[in-house]
Amino acid sequence: MTLSSLARVVPVPAAFAFAFTLFTAADSAPLIAAEPGQEAAAEAPENPIEATRESVRAGLRVYGRFCRSCHGIQADGQGMTAPPGSRPANLIDDEWTHGDRDGDIYLVIRNGVPPNYDMDAWEGRITDEEIWHVVNFLRNLAERLAR
Ligand code: HEC
């Protein structure tokens, strides 16, 4: 299995961590390398914001303003005004193309999805805190819909 085929079947950050391990293992010189644990943490940060009612509400406001047009009122990917040809993701199912941890979802929202960025990078347009609120909102919504 090549590394690129691996990248398709495992979440990207895991593939990164794997490549990182390969790279450092192949390098016999005692380089100053980040602890593997630190590297993983940098890839997918821990959610620093508790999913309180206030956080979920703040996330709902951000979602309604910036995300609903593409991802839909129910966050099921059926937004009415998504760019032609784009396929906004369902954000309330168990399928996460870009990783299913809070930190993975945070990174997708912050950095967007290359190469064409139909899913835009929101860094600088909404705050980091707001991104975490949206993550909390989406988790909460999925939980409520699953009941
Ligand atoms: C212009 C349309 C558009 C807007 C606006 C938009 N998205 Fe997306 N989003 C997409 C598309 C298209 C994808 C699928 C990208 C891909 O994987 O190729 C996507 C993917 C995602 C994913 C990855 C899902 C997965 O399965 O891993 C998340 C999370 C996400 N969007 C959250 C948001 C949030 C939160 C907002 C608002 C801040 C937002 N999006 C705004 C179009 C949009």
Please name the residue whose Cα sits nearest to atom 42 of ligand 1.
Answer: 119
98 with 130, same domain: the answer is yes
pLDDT at 14: 44
75 with 117, same domain: the answer is yes
pLDDT at 110: 98
pLDDT at 146: 87
Domain annotation covers residue 48? no
Number of domains present in the structure of the chain: 2
Alpha carbons 55 and 46: distance in angstroms, whole number: 16
Please name the residue whose Cα sits nearest to atom 21 of ligand 1.
Answer: 89
18 with 36, same domain: the answer is yes
pLDDT at 111: 97
108 lines ligand 1 (CB under 6 A): yes
Q: What share of the chain is helix, strand, coil (3-state, %, to 5)?
A: 50, 0, 45
Compute, in degrees rounded to 10, the torsion defined by CA atoms 99, 129, 109, 118: 170
Q: What is the pLDDT of residues 71-97, one digit of tens each?
A: 999 999 999 999 999 999 999 999 999
Domain annotation covers residue 81? yes
Could you read off the pLDDT tens digit of each residue along the chain, which spans 147 residues?
A: 444 444 444 444 444 344 333 333 334 444 444 444 444 445 899 999 999 999 999 999 999 999 999 999 999 999 999 999 999 999 999 999 999 999 999 999 999 999 999 999 999 999 999 999 999 999 999 999 988
79 with 136, same domain: the answer is yes
62 with 112, same domain: the answer is yes
User: How far is ligand 1, taken at its centre, from the CA of residue 29, in Å?
Assistant: 41
Domain annotation covers residue 84? yes
Structure tokens, 38: 């630190």
60: domain range? 53-146
